[in-house]
Structure 1
């Protein structure tokens, strides 16, 4: 009997326990929709004077670089320098073989000596002609008197007509000799001038040959660095062939293209004598804006910056990024680029921790407190002491609720770590 009642008793106890638990259960709390907020970092608005910078990317150029060439066809005898070697002024760079360079000089010297001898001979000849002319004129006078005597004798039948003809011929020959001598004397200035012209031409050739012979030993005209070596000992070079190049250790320039919209500002600063400096992004080099190029191109105008200080680490042809400091801007705000939404929007955090949209005017870039490039702006409607977000929110909008990080950091948030888009709230 008991075995039959036991299952029923267990079932009754179970049902009673279930009913007791159901009656004593707690009432569930009513669900209330909560607005979601986004954790952001912020900074306090502080206006002040800032120096905007203009990023430029230019090429290092040496205006003093020279190409040293061979003055004549010759064989290279020596080249004691190497690529990239620093040399002092007067250092031998290349020497051409004297067996090729001296013969033209010797030939030119011989030509000058020959013409000088001809000029000396012409002067002696002229002196002799003048002395001979005086004697030949005496001969003409004697022949004239002899002719007169013979004519008188013929008239008195004391001489034959043939004697008179002989006397006339003698006088004629004497006069011809005088005329020839006078012609030679008259031609002396022209002959002397011609010889002097030939001498001047020969002396010019000699000077050229001497200059080329001197230049056959190519020496450094200034302290500089050797580059662009084209020859080695034993090479045969033509006249005018480039041997090597040399650029001075100082006087390097940076040629960088400036966008058209900055030209008026930079030109005005140059006219007022305001020094504008540029610092290398990598390195310690500093450059001073010297001038703007005389011609523009569609991509902008070339700015020429002079290196200030040591050129250590710089070489012509290197590409160098720099930051050019522009004129000081007052009452401006510097913010990280992550604070900008779009190109001209900042978000202020109000008393209710909600975002308020503010439009800004971009003034350029400047160096922030972390040494990185920040945006320089002039906001509309922001006051000193207001707080703005510096975390870039892809879903930022007017009235969005945010939660400000307690450390108020200004680190740049990347796209990978940015919060996801806002979800619709119930």
Structure 2
């Protein structure tokens, strides 16, 4: 019985040893079998491909710099009309209303002239009296001269001709009275004339303070008028662009004015600068004059320009000859351009002479017929091979 137990233990030990060995051998055999049957791939060397690019052919041209600026419409001439005499307003013109248009020389307001007419009549009477006194005094002087001659013939001694004897002071006094009376008459007539308030220019009534029946005092405000023959637009321009603008009263740089809200447009010209620089933005003030802003004269039919309207101005500045105009995005960070040159990349430094919102003007560094690359390159290297897009042809 002991022999049987020993045989059973030996069999278990052999099974635990032989079975793992057989499994390992079987796995190794399977691995080598499948390895011998695996598909083998042959690696091919990587093909070098040139980047595909788009190009733009450039040629020089004459271009005009354009300066864009923002501004506000303002009156070129605004005056406050005041009465020079006191009185009751007895008449106003139908156009004398806010927003009304009054032509130059037209009577706007009339003040009661009765008191001033009486003053003129009184001054005329005083002048007539002074002139009569003057004539009488001239006669008295003539009598004094004759009496002096008579006394000289009768007296053995010489009688001196003094100014007092000849009544010269009295004559000068009478003459001064005449001049004073004439001045009083002129002043009275001037006050009478001032009872009619006339427009000093073709004007827009911006505001009015009196109406018919109102009592006005001397130096009392009647209305505020704005000259409608021209308006002005004050815009702010960067200092580095001011030299490109021609400033002249009659031949300044042309400018196109566009309303930001209504879309209306007007033509103007740069006539002067404000002579100051803004404190915060450090920009120069430029005045653009717009003639006939309401379309009442030569520009009849043009939309009316409104005061205090916010506008956008496009000023035509200096003209550049033989410059290349390119989109601003084509100039790279280091102020260079990528040029397609016979299948190769040529990187050129350029110096723009003018930059606008989305355009850049280049005068040196490019040649007529050059092909500027408009595509982006991840790693541009001068001389690298390039391929044109299918639709491109140099």
TM tier relative to shorter chain: 0.5 to 0.7
- Residues 1:87 and 2:98 aligned together: no
Shift of 1:386: 0.6
**Residues 138 and 171, structure 2, Cα contact 8 Å, conserved in 1:** no
Mapped to 1, the partners of 2:339 and 2:327 lie a distance apart of 14
- Residues 1:362 and 2:352 aligned together: yes
**Residues 71 and 215, structure 1, Cα contact 8 Å, conserved in 2:** yes
Mapped to 1, the partners of 2:227 and 2:52 lie a distance apart of 57
SS, match of residue 208 in structure 2:
coil
Q: Tell me which residue corresponds to 1:276.
A: 253
Shift of 1:334: 1.6
SS, match of residue 328 in structure 1:
strand
- Residues 1:380 and 2:365 aligned together: yes
Q: Tell me which residue corresponds to 1:230.
A: 209
Mapped to 2, the partners of 1:22 and 1:234 lie a distance apart of 120
**Residues 353 and 401, structure 1, Cα contact 8 Å, conserved in 2:** yes
- Residues 1:337 and 2:328 aligned together: yes
**Residues 73 and 231, structure 2, Cα contact 8 Å, conserved in 1:** yes
**Residues 134 and 178, structure 2, Cα contact 8 Å, conserved in 1:** no
SS, match of residue 84 in structure 1:
coil
Mapped to 2, the partners of 1:58 and 1:24 lie a distance apart of 84
Shift of 1:48: 1.7
TM-score (norm 1): 0.58
Shift of 1:383: 5.7
Q: Residue 286 and residue 401 in structure 1: after superposition, are their counterparts in 2 closer, same or farther (change >3 A)?
A: farther
Q: Tell me which residue corresponds to 2:58.
A: 45
Mapped to 2, the partners of 1:30 and 1:386 lie a distance apart of 39
Mapped to 1, the partners of 2:86 and 2:386 lie a distance apart of 81
**Residues 112 and 199, structure 1, Cα contact 8 Å, conserved in 2:** no
- Residues 1:106 and 2:118 aligned together: yes
Root-mean-square deviation (CA), in Å? 5.2
Q: Tell me which residue corresponds to 2:304.
A: 313
Mapped to 2, the partners of 1:297 and 1:212 lie a distance apart of 46
Mapped to 2, the partners of 1:383 and 1:104 lie a distance apart of 82
**Residues 37 and 402, structure 1, Cα contact 8 Å, conserved in 2:** yes
Mapped to 2, the partners of 1:84 and 1:28 lie a distance apart of 91
Q: Tell me which residue corresponds to 1:324.
A: 315
Q: Residue 304 and residue 136 in structure 1: after superposition, are their counterparts in 2 closer, same or farther (change >3 A)?
A: closer
Q: Residue 137 and residue 378 in structure 1: after superposition, are their counterparts in 2 closer, same or farther (change >3 A)?
A: closer
Mapped to 2, the partners of 1:212 and 1:406 lie a distance apart of 89
TM-score (norm 2): 0.62
**Residues 141 and 167, structure 2, Cα contact 8 Å, conserved in 1:** no
Mapped to 2, the partners of 1:327 and 1:334 lie a distance apart of 15
Q: Deviations over 1:314-369 (max 9, x none)?
A: 24554443222233212212223333445944444677697x65433232246xxx
Matches within 5 A, 1:250-289: 250-264=229-243, 266=245, 276-282=253-259, 283-289=264-270
Mapped to 1, the partners of 2:389 and 2:219 lie a distance apart of 72
- For structure 1, the residue ranges without an aligned partner over 5 or more in a row are 1-18, 145-178, 367-371, 409-426
Q: Deviations over 1:133-170 (max 9, x none)?
A: 9899999x99x9xxxxxxxxxxxxxxxxxxxxxxxxxx
Mapped to 1, the partners of 2:119 and 2:45 lie a distance apart of 113
SS, match of residue 71 in structure 1:
coil
Shift of 1:38: 10
**Residues 83 and 226, structure 1, Cα contact 8 Å, conserved in 2:** yes
Q: Deviations over 1:181-229 (max 9, x none)?
A: x999748443343344344334334323322332322233443322233
Q: Residue 331 and residue 112 in structure 1: after superposition, are their counterparts in 2 closer, same or farther (change >3 A)?
A: same
Matches within 5 A, 1:340-355: 340-342=331-333, 344-348=335-339
Q: Residue 39 and residue 202 in structure 1: after superposition, are their counterparts in 2 closer, same or farther (change >3 A)?
A: farther
Q: Deviations over 1:375-403 (max 9, x none)?
A: 3233535662413327xx7x976349999
Q: Residue 387 and residue 239 in structure 1: after superposition, are their counterparts in 2 closer, same or farther (change >3 A)?
A: same
Mapped to 2, the partners of 1:406 and 1:194 lie a distance apart of 109
Q: Which has the higher contact order (CA 8 A, sep 6+)?
A: 1
Mapped to 1, the partners of 2:184 and 2:52 lie a distance apart of 88
- Residues 1:190 and 2:173 aligned together: no
Shift of 1:110: 0.9
- Of 194, 200, 203, the match for 2:179: 200
**Residues 129 and 185, structure 1, Cα contact 8 Å, conserved in 2:** no
Q: Deviations over 1:266-299 (max 9, x none)?
A: 46x969x976322224543222344556x45574
Q: Tell me which residue corresponds to 1:241.
A: 220
Shift of 1:119: 4.0
**Residues 62 and 321, structure 2, Cα contact 8 Å, conserved in 1:** yes
Shift of 1:102: 3.4
